[in-house]
Structure 1
Amino acid sequence: MSRTSPPHHQQHPQQGELSRRSLLRTAGGLTAGLTLGTAVTATTADAAPATFTHPGMLHNAGDINRAKVRVAAGTDPWLSGWKKLTANPHSASTWTPNPQATIIRGGTGENYGILYNDIAAAYQNALRWKVGGTEANAACAARILNAWSSTLTTLTGNADRFLAAGIYGWEFANAAELMRDYTPFDLAAFQEMMANVFHPLNNQFLTGHNDACITNYWANWDLCTMASILAIGILNDDATTYDQAVTYFKSGAGNGSIEHAVPYLYTDSDGYALGQWQESGRDQGHTVMGMGQMGAVCEMAWNQGDDLYSYDDRRFMKAAQYVAKYNTGQDVPYTTYTWGSGQNCAQQSQTVIGSGSRGQLRPVWAMLHFHYNRRLHLDDKYISAMYDDLVAPEGGGGDYGSTSGGYDQLGFGTLMYAK
């Protein structure tokens, strides 16, 4: 399989495939509290909606209402997910933000931990307000977001600055999306920060890859960048920015596009379709991280009417099944993975799957399980085992260690996605 020129079928929907938005238009709209604007006229699978749905990133109005109703009724698993949220210190309404004018990731003077802790606090307080209705949590979330939008001007460091702009870009935007209808939150100032501080680095990386060989950077670098661009497009009602991310997912030249992120496909002895993940030969911590980063892209697009979850015959589901199967202790096939590295595309290869961090738990599986198994009613045997047996109920930032890996995803999927 070519790793530099995706086959023609990757550029377009499969034969007979319709965009999720087209299906929704045919059916007359969305269900469960999510409503697209009546002005939607998009006719292609990768076109942004004419009217963006808000809230419409990781959580839509239906998700929020379901969690609110189920928690109020004391029903599990939502109640267990709510208890994980309220037990997390980041969700306390007394959290005090620590905004910085300059955030550094990579090199001398790193201080990016300050940012990811404050983002986790903003998001968790926003969830507590949306689900529990507590004004103190809303005020806290707004206070954190306003403090950063009035202070942060620069993201810098070595190449890792692009990771900071990507991961913290989409996470920050998600917290803001939940707060956009809360008057004390200065949405305009926050939108400006995202457009002027985060997006330029996102765009620089996705279009130039830090002047390196196009395959040099692992899939997660592209994916967190795509997620940030997508989230900024939604937050700012910017169709061009939104489309940049969706188009790259389908046909981008780097490792975050769907064919490059999942280069080899298999069927196991039980008949389940599997897809080898681009970072599988590296280690499992980064591989599981990829499930969260691509999952975030797919979920945000889903809530705007684009079904990337099912793109290319559900290629992402095959990868998630593969990663889950290996990380629950089972064997999976592996094909030698070769790529060009550095500036001159020097060839490197991985001949066996990476066992480092095997079984690492991150809060990325609820989103995937409840989409494929409950929304689509598909048999997600390995994803389901990973979620049900090892992860549920999911926590969030602060529940999975104090280092950056524990904050690479926002979490709380049991509370927000259980169906």
Structure 2
Amino acid sequence: MRRTALLVTVAALAAGALAVPADAAPTTFVHPGVTVSRGQLDFVRGKVEAGAQPWKSALDQMLASKYADLNRTPKPRAVVECGSYSNPDHGCTDEREDAIAAYTDALAWYLTRDDRYARKAIQLMDAWSAVITDHTNSNAPLQTGWAGSTWPRAAEIIKYTYTGGWANSGRFATMLRTVYLPEIVNGSNSNGNWELSMMEAAVGISVFLEDKASYDKAVGKFRTRTAAYVYLESDGALPKTVPSQNLDTRDKIVNYWQGQSTFATGLTQETCRDLTHTGYGISAISHVAETSRIQGQDLYGTDVGERLRQALGFQSRYELGAVVPSWLCGGSLKPGLGPVTEVGYNALHHRLGMGMSNTQALTERNRPAGSNHLFVAWETLTHGDNPN
């Protein structure tokens, strides 16, 4: 055990890991620090001012989107009710889209210095923080995770970079603390993308609230779920499991993995469901790893980074059109990974120098990456070839 721990430590240090526990909250939180940092934003602003690609076309795409519309009217409601697949949809789409719009406007403010965008982001955040009290029905945890992943990205940029002031930032913080965090921080025993998205939201909210206890709890659950979501050959004959799910036989595990009984490195728990839901899980893994890096820690240097790299490569190969072998999902996959590769690809390939040919091909083919209209938005702009 000591030799293994030593090897892990040496490998982590070689990859640039900080000598602190990967699941410990920072002594001092970094702001803005949810998914995107000030250094990253400054890099992008320099590139777009110079007209450099792919950042200029990515900014143009974002500014032309409905989310950057300065005439947007927020649609808050007190209780957001979301059933399975958002049916019924009582405020579900409105909440997610207003959150994406707030984040879009926050980015637009920072990159253009047009304070109309900052004021619009504030209007959207204030509208919801004045009204919402609860999420209900079967998809409430997932809905809370999706919207709760996006709100703190917007709030971090506005609170810590906009000098025009945000009078109701405290009320917004109260909304995150009382309406969102309790719904997500204890996790989920549903499909893996649920808990990963919920932990992404919990980590981001904890950064904004500077809540170290919630941060630690969320990162701990995140690491357990990531290990149970992406298979590595080193895991053994069967994938790892989340203890609370009681997946204690091979048959239960195979059933949970969508009937897949042959396990290969990079396969995820939802690959044989479809690549769209798989993309949700991969995206959340990359976002939590990126936020932790900004906060001065290193999840990329742990098994999280290797699982992310392998998951991206495995899924990218088939999203690019490779023939699906008969042992994998009965020889048929449902494509639709989504705009989810930029953050992980940038961190692992550009910063750490890892080879990722399939992920690179897919990422470059899909540029500029847009939004999945749930919780992912503009990641070519924020993370494409970004060294910071």
Tell me if TM exceeds 0.5. yes
- Rounded to whole Å, the distance in 2 between the matches of 1:21 and 1:300 is 17
Q: Does 1:413 align with 2:386?
A: no
- Rounded to whole Å, the distance in 1 between the matches of 2:214 and 2:81 is 25
SS in 2 for 1:76: coil
Q: Does 1:363 align with 2:339?
A: yes
1:375 aligns with one of 332, 338, 351: 351
What residue ranges of structure 2 are gaps of 5+ in the alignment?
A: 235-263
- Rounded to whole Å, the distance in 2 between the matches of 1:23 and 1:318 is 19
- Rounded to whole Å, the distance in 2 between the matches of 1:16 and 1:353 is 40
More helix by share: 2
- Rounded to whole Å, the distance in 1 between the matches of 2:6 and 2:175 is 34
Cα shift readout 1:333-360 (whole Å, capped 9, x = no counterpart)? 7878xxxxxxxxxxxxxx536512x1x2
Which residue in the other structure is 1:220 paired with? Answer: 193
Which residue in the other structure is 2:300 paired with? Answer: 309
Q: Does 1:288 align with 2:267?
A: no
- The amino acid that maps onto 1:276 is L
Q: 1:410 deviation in Å?
A: 2.7
Q: Normalised by the size of structure 1, how large is the TM-score?
A: 0.77
Deviates more, 1:16-25 or 1:136-145: 16-25
Check 1:232–1:192 CA distance in 2 against 1; reply closer, same or farther (3 A cut).
same
CA contact (8 A) 2:25 2:212 kept: yes
- Rounded to whole Å, the distance in 1 between the matches of 2:180 and 2:51 is 39
CA contact (8 A) 2:100 2:377 kept: no
Which residue in the other structure is 1:191 paired with? Answer: 173
- The amino acid that maps onto 2:309 is M
Q: What value does the CA root-mean-square deviation take over the aligned residues? A: 2.7
- Rounded to whole Å, the distance in 1 between the matches of 2:374 and 2:283 is 8
Cα shift readout 1:178-227 (whole Å, capped 9, x = no counterpart)? 111331252211111011001111034x1xx4xxxx4xx21101101110
- Rounded to whole Å, the distance in 1 between the matches of 2:173 and 2:3 is 36
Q: Does 1:16 align with 2:10?
A: yes
2:311 aligns with one of 312, 319, 325: 319
Check 1:279–1:361 CA distance in 2 against 1; reply closer, same or farther (3 A cut).
closer
Q: 1:163 deviation in Å?
A: 0.5
- The amino acid that maps onto 1:102 is V
User: Which residues of 2 match residues 331-350 of structure 1 at below 5 A?
Assistant: 331=323
- Rounded to whole Å, the distance in 1 between the matches of 2:6 and 2:192 is 21
- Rounded to whole Å, the distance in 2 between the matches of 1:306 and 1:352 is 40
Q: 1:109 deviation in Å?
A: 5.8
Check 1:45–1:264 CA distance in 2 against 1; reply closer, same or farther (3 A cut).
closer
1:166 aligns with one of 132, 141, 145: 145
- Rounded to whole Å, the distance in 2 between the matches of 1:61 and 1:241 is 24
Which residue in the other structure is 2:204 paired with? Answer: 231
Check 1:171–1:185 CA distance in 2 against 1; reply closer, same or farther (3 A cut).
farther
- Rounded to whole Å, the distance in 2 between the matches of 1:278 and 1:149 is 35
How many matched pairs? Answer: 349
Q: Percent identity?
A: 27
SS in 2 for 1:352: helix
User: Which residues of 2 match residues 233-252 of structure 1 at below 5 A?
Assistant: 233-250=206-223, 252=224
- The amino acid that maps onto 1:352 is G
What residue ranges of structure 1 are gaps of 5+ in the alignment?
A: 1-6, 26-42, 267-272, 337-350, 397-405
Which residue in the other structure is 2:49 paired with? Answer: 72
User: Which residues of 2 match residues 129-140 of structure 1 at below 5 A?
Assistant: 129-140=109-120
- Rounded to whole Å, the distance in 2 between the matches of 1:194 and 1:19 is 35
Which residue in the other structure is 1:61 paired with? Answer: 38
CA contact (8 A) 2:185 2:218 kept: no
